[in-house]
Chains A and B, each alone.
Chain A
Amino acid sequence: MNAVLQYAVQGLAAGSFYALAALGLAIIFGVLGVVNFAHGAFYMLGAVTAAVLLDTLDLTLWWSLLVVPVLMFAFGVVVERLLVQWLLRLDPLYNFLLTFGLTLVLVELVKQKYGVSGLPYKPPKLLSGRVDLAGVVLPRYQLFVFLFSVAICVLVWLVMTRTRVGMIVRASTEKPDLARALGINVGRWVTPVFGFGVALAGLAGVLAAPFRAITADMGNNFAIILFAVVVIGGLGSIVGAVVAGFMVGLVEAFGQAYAPTYAQILIFVLMALIILVRPAGLFGRKEATA
């Protein structure tokens, strides 16, 4: 029982990274129609930035949770203005080429600067060690990651469902032309939405920093699993992204515990099964046929 709970918390913590990053990916895809293959690299940049801030400016995780998303938002805005905006009118093939190419560039740049050995990262004292919950001993940091990312997901969900900005994002996702014909300047939202999605990937990276080896390549495998998450949840569905993120984290943790050689394959088996039953993913909407 204790072991099962341990794996569950580990899975939910790992799932938190997927959920946050997939949430950003889903919102970007919804409004821009761009599948951002550079999302894994943005996650990596978030972790690397946190490590560098700790090393050079002594900024702890608490600060990084605030500062890094802001920096990543700014970086996303620059990337959107310089590069991504040109994709919006082009064939989806260019979308893949550009964002995948960007990944290679970012990964190489980080390798040049920080090498391949991995940067150290210690979580703050408050989050280190274990906590004893009625006889069940769980790692404090993993619990924190899970609760923190659930809070962020709920916050994003409230913004999406309760505010005018959220309403505009939903409308632009579902029927962009109609939104424009109803007087919404959809184009104005493209840059901030991209920046916001990048910030979420960066935030996932910060949370992962004490938990994962911080290397230039840490986003590569992450990105592959992230796409399984997005397919399982349903491309463009924000609820789907979050649910599937935690689901995949759990599958991964239990897989690693009980069948380590198959852990990653399990995720893709799950993905294949879900596509068979629901081709649009768990929460995906079927494209309107008429």
Chain B
Amino acid sequence: MLEVAGLNAWYGEAQALHEVSVRVGEGEVVTLVGRNGAGKTTLVRCLIGLHRQVSGTVSFLGSDVTRTPAHRRARAGMGWVQDDRGIYASLSVEENLLLPPRVSDRAWTLKQVYEAFPLLADRRKAPGTTLSGGEQQMLAIARVLRTGARLLLMDEPSEGLAPVVVARIGAIIREIKATGVGVLLIEQNVKFAATVADRHYLLSQGHIVETLDNSDFQRREGELLKHLGI
């Protein structure tokens, strides 16, 4: 559903991505691993349409969206879970959930969201940022699920969270994968990545240096950890 070919991205004169090609299929979970500053966040910002200084092509569900504005990409079915979670302080938990429009008939109802995430139901009237870090991450994920997005772009959802919360996120990812949603997951947590993904891209200084299936990835875990400098 997502095909990225020969994507270059710049910040002014500095090139942050070089000829990046990435593919995510329906019901496929693909991770993007790489050290700090490798260009992972830049890549997802290019995909959702917030970073515009690019060349190359991004196509989504068969159409070229390279020049499409961000809000239309979202309406076409891309769901972004931002690296800082992107929860609105000036919106209540429920308003955070209701803000994005529904984009497909697989959209969850509020009721479904609250059944899956009871803690959000308890805090529905509270300002979004009064939730704990883990709860905010759940809210960010629930928000894109409610839209019925067909491709999730998740930027380090496990970062800074307790192991039980990370495990919960893993379970959610496997659940949505089963419904045919594609996921591009940015991860520094290699162990976690191996529990949810089908394939992995290794990004280094803006270049995709390796594409690995999950068994290779697990076999070479030690080497990868070294590369990531963890």
Stretch of A69-77, A97-105, A128-136, A179-187 contacting B (4+ beta carbons < 8 Å): A179-187
Q: A284 to chain B: closest CB distance in Å? A: 12
Which residues of chain A come closer than 8 Å to B50, judged between CB atoms?
177, 180-181
Does A152 make an interface contact (CB < 8 A)?
Answer: no
Contacts of A177 in B (CB 8 A): 50, 70
B135 within 8 A of A: no
- Identify which of B69, B80, B88 contacts A170 (C-beta below 8 A): B88
A171 contact from B48, B73, B91, B147, Cβ within 8 A: B91
Produce 1/0 per residue, A169-180, CB < 8 A to B: 011011101111
Closest Cβ of chain A: how far from B104's Cβ, in Å? 12
A290 within 8 A of B: yes
When the two chains form the complex, which single residue of A167, A285, A290 contacts B99, counting CB atoms closer than 8 Å?
A167
**From B128, which residue of chain A is reached at the shortest CB distance?**
A174
**Cα distance, A181 to B90, chains bound together (Å):** 17
Residues in chain B near residue A185, CB distance under 8 A: 71
By a CB distance below 8 angstroms, the chain A residues around B70 are 177, 180-181
A180 touches B71 (CB 8 A): yes
Q: Which of A168, A177, A181 has the most CB of B within 10 A?
A: A181
Complex interface: chain B residues within 8 A of A181 (CB): 48-50, 70-71, 73-74, 80, 82
Measured CB to CB, the closest approach of chain A to B66, in angstroms, equals 16
Interface membership of B20, Cβ < 8 A: no
Contact A174 B88 (CB under 8 A): yes
What residue in chain B is nearest A285 (Cβ atoms)?
Answer: B89
* Nearest-Cβ distance from residue B195 to partner chain A, whole angstroms: 27
Interface centre among A170, A182, A290 (most CB of B within 10 A): A182
B143 at the interface (CB under 8 A from A): yes
Give the complex CA separation of A207 and B91 in angstroms.
Answer: 33
- Interface residues in B134-151 by Cβ distance below 8 A to A read 143, 147
Q: How far is the CB of A138 from chain B (nearest CB, A)?
A: 37
B18 CB within 8 Å of chain A: no
Give 10 nearest A-B pairs by CB, closest first.
Answer: A183-B74, A182-B100, A180-B70, A170-B90, A178-B86, A181-B80, A181-B48, A185-B71, A180-B71, A183-B75
A-B contact pairs, 9 of them (CB 8 A): A164-B98, A173-B90, A178-B80, A178-B88, A180-B71, A180-B74, A181-B48, A182-B100, A184-B99
